[in-house]
Amino acid sequence: MARSLGRYTWQFDRVFLVGEAAVVGPKEGEGPLRDDYDGIFSCPYAGQPNWEKAEQSFLRDACEKALEKAGKAKEEVGLFVAGDLMNQLTTSSFVARSLSLPYLGVFSACATMAEALAVAALAVDSEAESLVMTGTASHNATAERQYRYPTEYGAQKADTAPCTVSGGGAALLGRDSPGGAGRVRVAAATLGKVVDLGAKDPLNMATAMVPAAADTLAVHFSEMKRDPSDYDLIVTGDLGFHGMPVLRDWIRRHGYDLGDRYSDCGALIYSPTQPEVFNGGSGSACCAVVTFGHLVRRLRRGELRRVLVAATGSLHSTVSARQGETIPAICHAVVLERET
Amino acid sequence: MVKQHRPPRPLVRNAVRAFAVGGLVCDLGQWIQSLYMRWGGFDREAAANPTAATLVFAAVLLTGLGVYDRFAQWAGAGLAVPVTGFANAMSASAIEARSEGLVLGVGANMFKMAGPVIVFGVVAAFFVALIRAVLPRLIG
């Protein structure tokens, strides 16, 4: 049964990743993790008439592939927890409409994946549900349209600008999983608080999110009575190439040194030499496809034993940014462990 | 700490590229204008309108083909300041809103990016005209 450690952390007893899948668009499919995805769409439209529908098909496809890999039928799933970046969570809700399952829509911007995973794990560990599906998706063009400029508009972007990942990731959580040793479980989750130190530039969100990430990581280490060295890998969500060194420095203030165990999903998903990736990947799919595609594969292969995924999100809206408000940020962390 | 890690903005590189590309666009415009004057039978002033239309058409075509934004990422203000930037702002907004329908989509969103340029262009023109009209009388 799940129990609380301190104010922010939940520790789970028996929550396993039963099946997971990651599907991506063409740009991600050309990135360094191309071999770790379950599906790569060759066109950003994904065979749909518009970007919004393409984003939905990323999520739907990831959910179907996760069910298929787990060998489960849709009817066995008791709850669907999903989120995305679109206004009113249209992507998740429209996918939930076709799945026709009990559904909770969650939002933490680019940190949604960890929030969904924490909620789903709690539902499983409390024995309220025996099989729960979570998923998040984002699409570069829908995010550009909603948060920035029309996709074909020729505004010059700075190197600190995020590149929203096109893709979707989904995972099935259950109380048991076949496979004995090598099973991957969700061991704990640390929920973040909203941190805002006054950063204002929506085209440099990484620096707005660093304090939130450092705060959640420090709280996690202290409440779990662990050190960074207890993890084989610590990844943040989408701080990117320029945010990573800032976090390394920032977390030293809390007395922790991340060393060479530290990486970032946004920096892993693209190579800095790819055209127009700027600061690296971002968006609610970024953390999901890297975790469910790349990291869980490495856990299952035994290359990693314990991973801390600290998903980061900026909670501003276009209206709040134009009204001169600063960018509140949040970071939720989940621990994935391979059973020995 | 954040400032210390912020990558330096390549101001010199951006300025050089904008200068070169902006200059080339103007060169191209001049060249098109000369063509209209030599073979189109326009005089210098009348040739300006078809010249702008040709540049606008080229920019809209490149936007529709999905390559204008890539050039603009490289060239920056060099492509944003000439009339091509305005054409790109309107056509990109129109393309983006196409899935929302013709009237409330394309019609309503077309001026989303270009609207401020028109609004403040008209306001600035009004004040300049006002000064032009009032100043000679005050002095004279």
Tens of pLDDT along A2-21?
A: 899 999 999 999 999 999 99
CA distance A8 to chain B (A): 27
Which candidate from A49, A50, A152 shows the least CB-CB separation from B69?
A: A152
- Within the 301-330 window of chain A, which residues sit less than 8 Å (CB to CB) from chain B? none
Compute CA A26 distance to the chain's CA centroid, rounded to the nearest angstrom.
Answer: 19
Residue-wise pLDDT for B10-60, tens only, equals 888 899 999 999 999 999 999 999 999 998 888 888 999 999 999 999 999
CB A78 within 8 A of CB A129: yes
The residue among A144, A131, A142, A205 whose CA lies nearest residue A170 is A131
Specify the residue for token string 């056509």.
Answer: B91
Q: What is the pLDDT of residue B1?
A: 66
With CA atoms as reference, the chain B residue closest to A205 would be B2
Average pLDDT of chain B to the nearest whole number: 89
Portion of chain B with pLDDT greater than 90, in percent: 56
**Short-list A337, A339, A329, A335, CA closest to A162:** A329
Quick one: fold of A3-174? Answer: Peroxisomal Thiolase; Chain A, domain 1 (3.40.47)
pLDDT per position as a tens digit, A151-196: 888 778 888 889 999 999 999 999 988 777 779 999 999 999 999 9
- pLDDT over threshold 80, residue B4: no
pLDDT at residue A160 in the model: 86
ipTM for the complex shown: 0.84
pLDDT for A153 equals 84
Q: pLDDT by residue (tens digit) across A19-71?
A: 999 999 999 999 999 999 999 999 999 999 999 999 999 999 999 999 999 99
pLDDT per position as a tens digit, A147-163: 988 888 877 888 888 99
Predicted confidence (pLDDT) per residue in A267-316, tens digit? 999 999 998 899 999 999 999 999 999 999 999 999 999 999 999 999 99
Residue A150 burial by CB count (10 A; 0-12/13-18/19+): exposed, middle or buried? buried
Single-letter residue type at A9: T
Contacts of A249 in chain B (CB under 8 A): 1, 5
Rounded distance, CA A308 to CA A231, Å? 7
Q: What residues 76-95 of chain B have any CB closer than 8 A to a CB of chain A?
A: 76-77, 79-80, 85, 88-89, 91-93, 95
B2 pLDDT tier (thresholds 50, 70, 90): low
| Closest partner CB to B66 (pick from A152, A245, A275) | A152
The architecture CATH gives domain A183-339? 3-Layer(aba) Sandwich (3.40)
CA A36 to chain centre: 16
- Please state, as a whole number, how many other Cβ atoms lie within 10 Å of the Cβ of residue B3: 6
CA distance linking residue A251 with residue A246, whole number of Å = 9
Beta bridge partners of A138: A167
What is the three-class DSSP state of A141? Answer: helix
- Is A50 an 8 Å CB contact of chain B? yes
Interval A124-150: pLDDT, tens: 999 999 999 999 999 999 999 999 888
**Stretch 157-186 of chain A: residues touching chain B, C-beta under 8 Å:** 157-160
The answer to whether A280 and A240 have CB atoms below 8 angstroms apart is: yes
b (16+ CB within 10 A) / e for B41-75: ebeeeebeeebbebbbebbbebbeeeebbebbbeb
How far is the alpha carbon of A70 from chain B, nearest alpha carbon, in Å?
36
Ranges of each domain in chain A: 3-174, 183-339
Identical fold between A3-174 and A183-339: yes
Q: Which amino acid is at B79?
A: L
pLDDT digits (tens, 9 = 90+) for A69-126: 999 999 999 999 999 999 999 999 999 999 999 999 999 999 999 999 999 999 999 9
Separation between Cα atoms, residue A248 and residue A319, nearest integer Å: 31
A299 within 8 A of A223, measured Cβ to Cβ: no
B113 has a chain A CB within 8 A of its CB: yes
**Is the Cβ of B69 closer than 8 Å to some Cβ of chain A?**
yes
Q: pLDDT at residue B131 above 80?
A: yes
pTM of structure: 0.92
Q: Is there a contact between A66 and A170 (Cβ–Cβ < 8 Å)?
A: yes
Residue A296 CB contacts under 8 Å (≥ 6 apart), including other chains: A17, A20, A171, A184, A336
**pLDDT beyond 80 at A246:** yes
Find chain B residues with C-beta within 8 A of A152's C-beta: 63-64, 66, 68-69, 88, 91-92, 95-96
| Strand A3-5 with A329-338, pairing | unpaired
